[in-house]
Structure 1
Amino acid sequence: MTSTTIHQRDRTVPNTEQERESAERDACPECGGRLVGDDEHAETTCAECGLVVEADAIDHGPEWRTFDAAERDSKSRVGAPTTKMMHDKGLSSSIGWQDRDAYGNSLGSRQREKMQRLRTWDERFRTRNSKERNLKQALGEIDRMASALGLPKNVRETASVIYRRALKEDLLPGRSIEGVATASLYAAARQTGVPRSLDEVASVSRIDGMEFKRTYRYIVRELGLEVKPADPVQYLNRFESEVDLGAETKRRAHELLSTAQKAGVTSGKSPIGLAAAALYAAALLEDEDLTQDAVSEISGVSTVTIRNRYHDLLAAADETQALPSNVSIDGATA
């Protein structure tokens, strides 16, 4: 017998008492064979002699069956995921307001009074100090403004993280909760690629425009946020969804913006104004019925800005000759 064979045989022999006990549990008590679990019959049997070692095993899995991932997620009962949009990250309990018991029956007057007292104390325990009360108010304000602007959940989560950072670094003294919340939401929308204009955000905020802009610059500077200039294409995609234009017109609008960006025409100009001008210019080139007033109403940009910017876009793309014969370069119809 070679040394290699001896070493292999030695490794199979249990050395400690725990290893020996584990080997005995995994072996058949009759023949020492290998044990196999049978999930279908809830049994543990020996693969060599067929002895049923254990019957009626407990199934620790769910009592329901699923056939795809979506159905499995819908039936799962592990609770809601944590979220930065709640001051306690959604981990605390809450007492319902329905005043009904587990069977749906209405509570008596004494029980209703008791539940109301419990709700009051539960609310007090959830916000134990001034920072938590501050955070709760600010996150509610962020959620309200985001709903009014139609911003998705990822923007709200990002805004909540920005506000939490500002609160942690003690940037709020001397500034209103609403102001920092508004600035956080605007910065989050820019970072996540679904920007809204300053005027749009200011219209749903409870502070004036000057305070909003001043607080936004302060938050970005102190937190070192990387906020890139907004891309006009991001605004253009939103404007296109609000008007009934053909696919060729939309394609032409994107081409006008791309050409202008390569030529450096867009530098230093408002991205929302460029997007509105590109949409109007493309409609002119494709002979679509879209007026400057209609584009101005959709985008919130003045008709003067649209006229100036669409002239620059057409010149950069060398499309001035492609205008319809009854339309001049300033947008007037002959």
Structure 2
Amino acid sequence: MATSTKSDACPLHPDAALIEDSSAGDQICSDCGLVVGHRVVDRGSEWRTFNNEESSTERSRVGAPEKPYRSGSDLTTIIGPSPSGPSKFKIGGPKYRNRKSLTSTNRTLEDGFLQIASMADKMNLPSCIVDRANVLFKRVQDGKHLRGHSSDGIIAACLNIACRQEGVPRGFKEICAVSMVSKVESSRCYNYVRKVLKISVDSTTSGDFMARFGSNLELPYKVQRVATDIAEQAVKMDIVSGRSPISVAAAAIYMASQASEDKRSAKQIEEITGVAIGTIRQAFRLMYPQAAQLFPKDFEFATTIDKLPRL
């Protein structure tokens, strides 16, 4: 039981606090025990409490969270015909009938939500990014900004923006790898969505990708930290102007790993980052002449700079 903050009050003790019995749905006066209200709806979330000492579980009420990007916040109910009804209702099954009942606008939204979920699943993205991408796609749809533009490109752009807003940016190549659009189309739709929705997104840096790439390459944290310092210093010294943050990150990882005991080849880095070996080579050659200034002063070299392999 918990103390209620309802506006109801006991007629005998109006100032007394009410106790809410969620299991029975009653509101009880704490002074006299009078049941002031009954059949009270429990608006708390549902969960199960598992007890290791008992085989049974305690259940709270059911109820799915609201989804603002769906019509009716996803709290609507579709009632279909009885299975024992006329045979014409059985054709196509319930999912087919429900889909036929959708308007063209809602059908476009549902298709977009399914595609976003599929792309996010391939990229192992959390549900918070999926929800944010769905909200963005609905905003584009509600504003009638889809006309004249590729639906697949808009969907890819929404997912790209959602990743950046959540602080886990993905490169255009990574987005294109799980979508059906080219890099040029993805970039064009990305800029278009940002413009029509008036979204300001912070520009990405090499450091935004370093932790994920380093983890996938199984690099120790100290090597990841050195690679981040190399990339940041290269940008400050204007050595890699015109190069994308992902390319700079890949080259910095190659340089840092080759100078440490945990070496990674350009081929391994290409497989994880998606940056071609030729692109890594170009960025590395720009950085190598200034390598002595890029490495932290306290870095312990396993391989000295003059003996680093040239790409």
TM-score tier by shorter-chain length is: 0.7 to 0.9
What is the correspondence of 1:1-334 to structure 2 with a 5 Å cutoff? Answer: 25-26=12-13, 54=34, 71=49, 75-84=59-68, 86=70, 89-93=73-77, 110=84, 116=90, 119=94, 120-125=96-101, 127=102, 129-265=103-239, 267-311=241-285, 312=287, 314=291, 316-317=293-294, 324-325=303-304, 328=307, 331=310
Q: Per the alignment, in what secondary structure is the counterpart of residue 212 of structure 1?
A: helix
Distance in 1, Cα, partners of 2:220 & 2:293: 23
How many Å separate the matches in 2 of 1:43 and 1:85? 39
In 1, Cα distance between equivalents of 2:221 and 2:282: 25
Partner Cα distance (1:36, 1:179) in 2: 57
- Measure how far apart 1:38 and its partner are: 8.7
What is the aligned residue count? 280
Question: Structure 1 residues 255, 44: closer, same or farther in 2, change over 3 A?
Answer: closer
Summarize the Cα distance change of 1:84–1:53 in structure 2 as closer, same or farther, 3 Å threshold: closer
Letter in 1 for 2:65: P
Superposed CA RMSD in Å reads 4.0
Structure 1 pair 113/289, CA: closer, same or farther in 2 (3 Å)?
farther
Shift in alpha-carbon separation, 1:216–1:25, aligned structure 2, 3 A: same
TM-score, length-scaled by structure 1: 0.68
Query: 1:137 and 1:88, CA in 2 relative to 1: closer, same or farther beyond 3 A?
Result: farther
Residue identity in the other structure for 2:181: I
**Given that residues 240 and 283 in structure 2 are in contact (C-alpha distance below 8 angstroms), is that contact kept between their aligned partners in structure 1?**
no
Please state how far the C-alpha of 1:242 moved relative to its aligned partner. 1.2
Q: State whether residues 29 and 35 of structure 2, in contact with CA within 8 Å, keep that contact through their aligned partners in structure 1.
A: yes
Cα distance, 1:37–1:284 mapped onto 2, change above 3 Å: closer
Q: Percent identity?
A: 25
SS across alignment from 1:80: coil
C-alpha contact (below 8 Å) 2:259/2:304 kept by paired residues: no
Residues 11-64 of structure 1 deviation map (CA, whole Å, 9 limit, x = unaligned): xxxxxxxxxxx896229xxxxxx9798999x98687xxxxx77589979697xx
Write the distance in 1 (CA, Å) between the matches of 2:36 and 2:185.
70
Secondary structure of residue in 1 paired with 2:74: coil
Measure, in 2, the Cα distance between the counterparts of 1:38 and 1:219: 51
Consecutive unaligned residues of structure 1, counting only runs of 5 or more, are 1-21, 28-33, 47-51, 100-106
Name the one with the larger helix percent: 1
Deviation string for 1:274-332 (max 9, x for gaps)?
11112111112213231111111111112232233234172541579957259645526
Deviation at 1:123?
3.8
Greater Cα offset, 86-95 or 188-197: 86-95
Give, in angstroms, the shift of residue 155 of structure 1: 1.5
Task: Assess if the C-alpha contact under 8 Å between 1:86 and 1:139 holds in 2.
Answer: no
Asked whether the equivalents of residues 263 and 316 of structure 1 are also in contact (C-alpha less than 8 Å), the reply is no
Residue 326 to residue 58, structure 1, CA distance change in 2 (3 Å): closer
CA contact 1:87–1:136 (8 Å) conserved in 2: no
Listed one character per residue, the Cα deviations across residues 141-199 of structure 1 (whole Å, up to 9, x for unaligned) are 11111111122222212211221221122211112322211121112222222121111
| Contact 2:140–2:197 (Cα < 8 Å) also in 1 | yes
Q: Note the residue ranges of structure 2 that are not aligned, 5 or more in a row.
A: 1-8, 22-26, 51-57
Higher deviation after alignment, 205-214 or 316-325: 316-325
Distance 1:148 1:59, change over 3 A: same
Aligned to 2:3: none
Contact 2:229 2:296 in 1 (8 A): no
Query: Is the alpha carbon distance of 1:36 and 1:239 closer, same or farther for their aligned partners in structure 2, counting shifts above 3 Å?
Result: closer
Please tell me the residue identity of whatever aligns with 1:151.
L
